[in-house]
Every structure is written in structure tokens, then in C-alpha cells.
Structure 1
């Protein structure tokens, strides 16, 4: 990776904790509607609505909240009360107010890499919420640019690299999702490092191993430093 000039970091579950908050929110939702279906059935319905709605709503907490409301309408055969809708909106609002907790050694890694590489954030989600989290994290000053993408397909990355005048062969993406942070970049002949988080959203899972000369995987973020220093 000696040609790397720009390093991009995914945000959620790469720089800070995120997925456990969604798991907690879904547990609350399941409790609200436990008389209508099993937790497994409810979680499957939420996921189906999320995937179906991605072209319309994209990613993030607001999209997730709308998908919960649609799930509730489905479960109750459209007989949910206004109070029930209010409770679901409360779950979404609580997600938007969650504190930002950095993952271990993130700031130390950024401090070590600054000045040697151009550092950017490339993440999915709601624009306002992601900017809020970056501000609250206290690490925003390490980054030259913040890119909140509507999705992370090859085309999305290609457009981002073009806007920022970055060559794929000089670009490294670091993230917790093989589907979103690794595969598209490798297909563009860039470099990717996977740092798995302890839990993964079902939508982001793949069912095959990745073998590529431009790909590395480490258990913890600090393990990237010997490769890049």
C-alpha cells in the first residue's frame, strides 16, 4: 500500500458504536407489538420494509423510523392508534439523541496518520445526523473532507473520487462492512481494509470469502498502523 495518499474511514461501527443502538430500538419495537407476532417475525418485517424503502428513504435513523411505522401498520392491519405511532417516533427520536462513543484507539490512530495522509470520512446515513455525530465525537478536525453518501455502490465511490480528484490506486477505504466498504473499492482497483464490528446489520452481510491482493482484514483499528507507517 505504498502508493496510498488518501485514507477514508467509514463512520458507524468503524469510528464509533452504532449498531447496538439500533438493536436496542428494535427490541423496544418488538415489545410494543409482541401481541401481534414473534420477535423474529417482527424483525424480518422491519428488514423487509427497510430494504424495500432504500431507493426512497436511503439509510439512517429517519428512514429506519419510517420503516418501523410501516411495519406497525402491517402488523396491526392499519389499526394502530395515534399513541402507538407516537411511541414509535419516540424510539426514533431517542436514537437521534444517543451519545457518540468512540471505538477503542480511534483517536490515537488518527493522530498517528494525520499529516502523512489525507484523511476523509465516507459514510452512509442521514446527513444532519452524521454531521451531528462527527461534531460530538471530537475528532472532526482530523478530516479534510466529510462525505455522506446515499449508498456505497461502485458508482457512488467513483463519483466521490472524481469530485475529490482522487485516483483509486492511491485510495484506501477502511470500514466494518465487506459489502459497502470493501467490495466496491476493490472493484475500482483501490485498496480496502476490513475491521469487523461485533454485530452486523443483516443487509450488510455477504456469504463468501474475499481474496484480493489489495485487501486486508484486522481485528482492531490500531493494527493498521504497521502497514501504513
Structure 2
């Protein structure tokens, strides 16, 4: 009898390696640069508004984040932001793009263990060049049977990828930290989903957990993933 679960797909950012904490550090620097113009809480809210507006234009990732910071700086200073501040924000973005990746605990072991028994995919969103750089640095690139870098994660994306590179969504599992992007749309097409939450969560990635579904699981860490897969069969 063939296994019920044949394909495991992983998210990348904040599932396999740290990302959000670098955004948080840059955002703290952003607040320090603009402390003479507005309060940090107000600035954070304005930046989030800009990011929400700009996703459809710039997509996800560092470049869109930097552009949203620059736009917010112009707005909150009534177009008086010094050129030196803009230059620092651009420099911060370049530093983020060049920052070495740091794998999360148990990421390598989980991926390599499951690769011996299942088809392994990477489904991630963001800037193509940046995601390819991080994947190359991770040392995990050769482990994946397929890598899909998309602008948005939707149910249609999961349905298509699991059909083309697996045995269909019903026999696939999506593993990720984002309830909105990794878990909810995968459950919606009949896949299993394993949520591995992180302490830092971007507001735009929050969503209600699909607790009604028997295919939804929450794990404390990737160390628990191989045992979960075994129980599913």
C-alpha cells in the first residue's frame, strides 16, 4: 500500500532560517532615525499601513520593506526627511540583503530525515534573487526535489504545485511559521499543515488557526516533524 502522505513542502523564511528578527532590528533603527519627528508606536503603525498598501506593487521581501520605510519617512516628516536618513535606510536594506543566513534549530535534520522517505519541496515567497541567495547559503538546496519561489502563497498555488510536483494536495503537507500564508491556504485545498510558530510574527501574516481541521497540527519545533509524519503514514 502506498503511503497516505508522500510530499512534504517547507516554507523558508522563519521556518528554516531566521528572517523576521532582522526586519525587527532594522525597524528599530528606523525608529531611532526618526525619533525627532514622531513617536515609535505611531511610526510602526504608519509603516504597517505602507507595507499593506505596497505589497501588491512591490511584493514581499527586503526591497519592498525598504521602499515602505522611505515612503513612511517622507509622510511622517511632511517631506522634510533629510537625505542622510534616506541614505541610511538604503544602507540598512543592503546590509539585510547581504546578511548571512542563520538556520533555525533542527532545520537541517528535519529536511534531511524526511528527504529519505518523502518527496521534499520548498515553497517560499519573496524576492527571487534574495531567496535564491539564502537557499544557496543554507546548504539545503540539493536536498529539495523542487523549489518554487512565488510572489504570493494562495490555495491555487498549493493546488498547482502539489499536483505538478507531488501526488496532489491531499497527499501533501505544508510546513511553515505563517498561519496566513503557509497553513490556512494549504488546509483549504485538503493538504496537511504543520504550524511551527516563531516568537516574532509580522502582523500581516497573522490569521485564525484552522483548528476545525484534523489535518492541522501545531509543533513546538521542527524536531517534532519527523515523528508527526510517521504517525500520519
- Place the TM-score, normalised by the shorter chain, in its bin: over 0.9
Change (3 A) 1:168 1:209: closer
Shift of 1:205: 1.2
- Say what the alpha-carbon RMSD is for the aligned residues: 1.4
Whether the 8 Å contact between 2:6 and 2:166 is mirrored in structure 1 is no
Shift of 1:209: 5.9
Secondary structure of 1:122 counterpart: strand
Q: Count how many residue pairs are aligned between Structure 1 and Structure 2.
A: 228
TM-score by length of 2: 0.93
* CA distance in structure 2 between the partners assigned to 1:79 and 1:164 by the alignment: 51
* CA distance in structure 1 between the partners assigned to 2:81 and 2:122 by the alignment: 40
Shift of 1:111: 1.9
Q: Gapped runs of 5+ residues in structure 2?
A: none
Shift of 1:88: 1.0
Shift of 1:106: 1.1
Q: Deviations over 1:71-92 (max 9, x none)?
A: 0110111122322211110111
Query: What residue in structure 1 maps to residue 211 of structure 2?
Result: 210
Shift of 1:156: 2.6
Question: Is 1:38 the counterpart of 2:7 in the alignment?
Answer: no
TM-score by length of 1: 0.95
Question: Is 1:63 the counterpart of 2:61 in the alignment?
Answer: no
* CA distance in structure 1 between the partners assigned to 2:206 and 2:59 by the alignment: 18
Whether the 8 Å contact between 2:159 and 2:168 is mirrored in structure 1 is no
Q: Gapped runs of 5+ residues in structure 1?
A: none
* CA distance in structure 2 between the partners assigned to 1:210 and 1:184 by the alignment: 13
Query: What residue in structure 2 maps to residue 193 of structure 1?
Result: 194
